[in-house]
Amino acid sequence: MTELEERETGGEAIEPPVSRSLLVRVGTYLLRRPESTVAIAALALAVYFTLANEFFLTAANIRVIANVLIPTAILATGQTMLLISGEIDLSQGAVYFMTPFLAHFAVEAGIPLPLAVMLALLGAGVIGLINGGITLAVGIPSFIVTLGMLLIVQGVTLNLSDGFPARAPSVGLDVDIFGGAPFSGLAWVILFVAFLHIVLTKTRWGVYTIAIGDNRLGAREAGVPAYRITMRNFIVAAMLAGFAGIIEGVRIGSFDPGAGGAAGLRVFMAVAAAVIGGTVLTGGYGTIIGAFLGALVLAVLQDGFNIMGVSAFTFGIVLGAAIIVAMVVNALASKARIRSQSVKL
């Protein structure tokens, strides 16, 4: 410290504004990470429900939350890849209920469960292939194509099953691997989230997916194989939906044909998780980790409301409000990120 600074401060040293600069750095980092907002929301909800009910943080209830999280998270990861590329798959829910029956019939024919699962997932992939083919070749919006496919697949599943559930395999190591063991489904979720996060952030597949969603025409003119990448995302979304249905059915011990509005509800939850997690419905932006955290928020909300005795109708109100708030926050955060980048330039 100089003599002038000592005279001005009475001889006391002035501490540099470390805390302020630290807060600025933390705030800047959080602003750049779209997952941060939903992560804070999930933590806040967990703290609130823990304080509100002593049973929330028990091992049994954590297992319940995980079971609610698993199917939504898996569907949301595949849906997120599609949404980022500017498309959507409303048939995911129907594929979720159809694929376990394909595996069931294969097992009934004497095929081992692992091979039956692979064959069933190929069937789910064909649905994704058809969705993508019609959307891209004919130019019909994916919203319309996949809505029609949802009704078709749902009808096929109900006819194949006669509207009745089927018994899922219940014994064996392969059963434990495909959802029968405690938290095996959660292990699959972590695997899919990690893999697709790497794909989206570290590979050409991910870079091209973002480019297509941001500006499809510009991406094509730049040499991006938009058709192939979008088709791949349609197939992945369908196969992940099918796999989620299989491991959920194995965990429960029964394959449900998904009568009523169950298929639509599954899709709605997956899209809601992606949106809450920061994915933009218009394409070009989103994160896999954000989709996982969005699914976690929904699972915590649903479970917290249940143990507190809150009506399911109220959960619908809160869920709708959460989607709207998430969209507003995402829009404001996107503008703030653009401003911060322009200031640096």
Q: What does the pLDDT look like over 248-269, one tens digit per residue? A: 999 999 999 987 788 888 999 9
pLDDT of residue 54: 87
Query: Distance (Å, rounded) from C-alpha 125 to C-alpha 95?
Result: 9
Residue 38 has pLDDT above 80, yes or no: yes
Label residues 157-186 b or e (16+ Cβ within 10 Å = b): bbeebeeebbebbeeeebbebbbbeeebbb
Distance CA 203, CA 201 (A): 6
Residue indicated by tokens 């992940």: 240
DSSP state of 203: S
Quick: pLDDT tens for 116-125: 999 999 999 9
In this predicted structure, the answer to whether residue 16 has a pLDDT above a threshold of 60 is no
Are the C-beta atoms of residues 229 and 205 closer than 8 Å to each other?
Answer: yes
What is the rounded distance in angstroms from the CA atom of residue 128 to the CA atom of residue 146?
Answer: 9
Confidence of residue 224 (pLDDT cuts 50, 70, 90): very high
Reported pTM? 0.87
Q: Which of 53-57, 125-129, 158-162, 308-312 has the lowest mean pLDDT?
A: 308-312
| pLDDT reported for residue 300 | 93
Position 26 scores a pLDDT of 61
Q: Inform me whether the pLDDT recorded for 135 exceeds 90.
A: yes
Tokens 């009704």 correspond to what residue? Answer: 151
Find the length of the chain. 345
What radius of gyration, in Å, describes the C-alpha atoms of the chain? 23
Task: Answer yes or no: is pLDDT of 148 > 90.
Answer: yes
Contact (CB, 8 A) for 255 and 178: no
Query: SS3 for 345?
Result: coil
